[in-house]
């Protein structure tokens, strides 16, 4: 029986993983937690929800024991742009939160899923076809915490036998919850602005290539990794996974296929541009494919069509409404 606890369950990734897992295992079996109240009521009303700081180990252990949790999806963190603006806070949360979760897992025997990121790479990492095992000297505070997190999870597996697993996610594109302060957020914002206003001002340069993934694939990757045969996992805590690589100019061109009048211009934010410049253009994800069968379903065109279909139907102020004829 799966009994799951999610930290950061109100965030961009947590809200989607929570919805999927509650559908899969039943709402009572999936405990959502976050430091905030649930503004929509989605997670708090459909199943157990607790509001507390993930660094409060006593509270976390008490909830884990009360619900006899066997797997924690640890998603509470500060993302790259916010972390760069508030580096000490990012260190405290990203490392302190993870250390707390791992200690509770060691005491209670839970498995732990922790996302790493393309942010764990740095300017000296090969930019194209970035290998699974390569140089990682990130220059952002977010990246520092992501590499340290990968290592800490490896340590808890080797030293204490905690079943830790994780993915190096690319930028995640979704339409349920807005992103929480990352460098790749433009790839979400652009769809909302395209549908509302038919134009977008991008904070990255037009030719900045980054890996990306549509949310259904991100959820699938996490769940498939946690279900994988542990005997086959050599890269437990840091699997490269990707689904597509594009730059803002490419994405604008795809949006124009469906909203021909769409326009993009650029007002570059030097902080986020520098972070993006230090990340890969595109990763290889062979280890994930071989060790647990990773295979994404959404490419750039399918993701673009789905985002535009969903948002043009859902947003009340959608002006550039596009219907999928297919
Ligand atoms: P998010 O910012 O959208 O959500 C984080 C959630 O954590 C928020 O709901 C926030 O309220 C909560 N939180 C913050 N401080 C907390 C605390 N002290 N205690 C408990 N909860 C707290 O982030 P996300 O995009 O959902 O990211 C989730 C994880 O996935 C992070 O580890 C992130 O680094 C990783 N990741 C995300 C992406 C992406 O594109 N979204 C890409 C790569 C990796
Ligand atoms: C960010 O931009 O910080 C995240 C990530 C790629 O980790 N979306």
| Pairwise CA distance, residues 167 & 175, whole Å | 21
Termini Cα distance of the chain: 40
- Sheet architecture: strand order including 210-214: 171-173, 210-214, 244-246
Fill in the DSSP letter of residue 125.
S
Are 142 and 208 within one domain?
no
CB 117 within 8 A of CB 181: no
Are 111 and 12 within one domain?
yes
50, 73, 142, 214: which one is catalytic? 142
Domain presence at residue 25? yes
Domain presence at residue 323? no
Are 160 and 272 within one domain?
no
Are 51 and 124 within one domain?
yes
Pick the closest to residue 314 from 191, 134, 160, 153 (CA basis). 191
Domain presence at residue 321? no
Are 140 and 275 within one domain?
no
CATH of the domain at 43: 3.40.50.720
Domain presence at residue 39? yes
Report the alpha-carbon angle 274-262-264, nearest 5: 25
| Alpha helices (H) along 179-269 | 186-197, 215-227, 248-258
Are 166 and 266 within one domain?
no
CATH of the domain at 269: 3.90.25.10
Q: How many CA atoms lie within 13 A of 82 on its CB side?
A: 13
Domain presence at residue 118? yes
pTM: 0.97
CA of 295 to the centre of ligand 2 (A): 21
Are 119 and 147 within one domain?
yes
Domain presence at residue 319? no
Q: Could you tell me the residue range of the domain that residue 110 belongs to?
A: 4-171+215-240
Please say if 286 is a catalytic residue. no
CB 168 within 8 A of CB 184: no
Domain presence at residue 229? yes
Are 144 and 270 within one domain?
no
Domain presence at residue 291? no
Are 178 and 69 within one domain?
no
Ligand 2 pocket test: pick from 184, 214, 275 the residue with the most ligand atoms within 8 Å of its Cβ.
Answer: 184
State whether the beta carbon of 184 lies less than 6 angstroms from ligand 2: yes
Are 113 and 181 within one domain?
no
The pairing of beta strand 49-51 with beta strand 111-113: unpaired
Are 162 and 200 within one domain?
no
User: Hey, which bits of the chain come out as E strands?
Assistant: 4-7, 30-34, 49-51, 71-74, 111-113, 116-117, 128-130, 164-165, 167-169, 171-173, 199-202, 210-214, 239-240, 244-246, 263-266, 282-283
- Which pLDDT tens digits describe the chain residue by residue (326 residues)? 589 999 999 999 999 999 999 999 999 999 999 999 987 877 777 899 999 999 999 999 999 999 999 999 999 999 999 999 999 999 999 999 999 999 999 999 999 999 999 999 999 999 999 999 999 999 999 999 999 999 999 999 999 999 999 999 999 999 999 998 999 999 999 999 999 999 999 999 999 999 999 999 999 999 999 999 999 999 999 999 999 999 999 999 999 999 999 999 999 999 999 999 999 999 999 999 999 999 999 999 999 999 999 999 999 888 876 665 55
Atom of ligand 2 nearest to the CA of 119: 7
Are 23 and 52 within one domain?
yes
How many domains is the chain built from?
2
In sequence order, the 6+-apart residues with CB closer than 8 A to the CB of 275 are: 80, 81, 84, 119, 140, 142, 183
């Amino acid at each position: 029986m799966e009994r799951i606890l999610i930290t950061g369950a109100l965030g961009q990734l947590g809200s989607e993983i929570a919805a999927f897992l509650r559908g899969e295992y039943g709402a009572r079996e999936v405990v959502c937690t976050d430091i905030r109240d649930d503004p929509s009521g989605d997670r708090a009303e459909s199943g157990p929800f607790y509001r507390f700081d993930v660094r409060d180990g006593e509270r976390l252990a008490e909830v884990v024991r009360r619900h006899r949790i066997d797997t924690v999806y640890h998603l509470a963190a500060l993302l790259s742009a916010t972390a760069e603006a508030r580096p000490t806070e990012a260190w405290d949360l990203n490392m302190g939160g993870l250390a707390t979760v791992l200690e509770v897992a060691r005491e209670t025997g839970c498995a732990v899923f922790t996302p790493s990121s393309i942010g764990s790479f740095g300017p000296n990492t090969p930019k194209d076809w970035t290998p699974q095992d390569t140089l990682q000297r990130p220059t952002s505070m977010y990246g520092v915490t992501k590499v340290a997190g990968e290592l800490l999870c490896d340590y808890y597996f080797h030293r204490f036998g905690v079943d830790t697993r994780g993915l190096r996610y690319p930028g995640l594109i979704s339409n349920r919850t807005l992103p929480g302060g990352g460098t790749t957020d433009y790839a979400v914002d652009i769809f909302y602005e395209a549908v509302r206003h038919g134009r977008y001002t991008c904070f990255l340069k037009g030719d900045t290539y980054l890996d990306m993934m549509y949310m259904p694939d991100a959820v699938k990757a996490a769940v498939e990794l946690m279900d994988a045969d542990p005997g086959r996992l050599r890269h437990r805590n840091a699997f490269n996974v990707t689904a597509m690589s594009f730059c803002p100019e490419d994405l604008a061109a795809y949006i124009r296929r469906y909203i021909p009048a769409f326009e993009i211009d650029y007002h570059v934010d030097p902080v986020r541009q520098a972070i993006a410049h230090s990340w890969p253009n595109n990763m290889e994800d062979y280890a994930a494919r071989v060790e647990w069968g990773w295979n994404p379903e959404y490419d750039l065109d399918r993701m673009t069509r789905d985002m535009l279909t969903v948002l043009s139907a859902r947003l009340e102020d959608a002006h550039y409404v596009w219907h999928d004829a297919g």
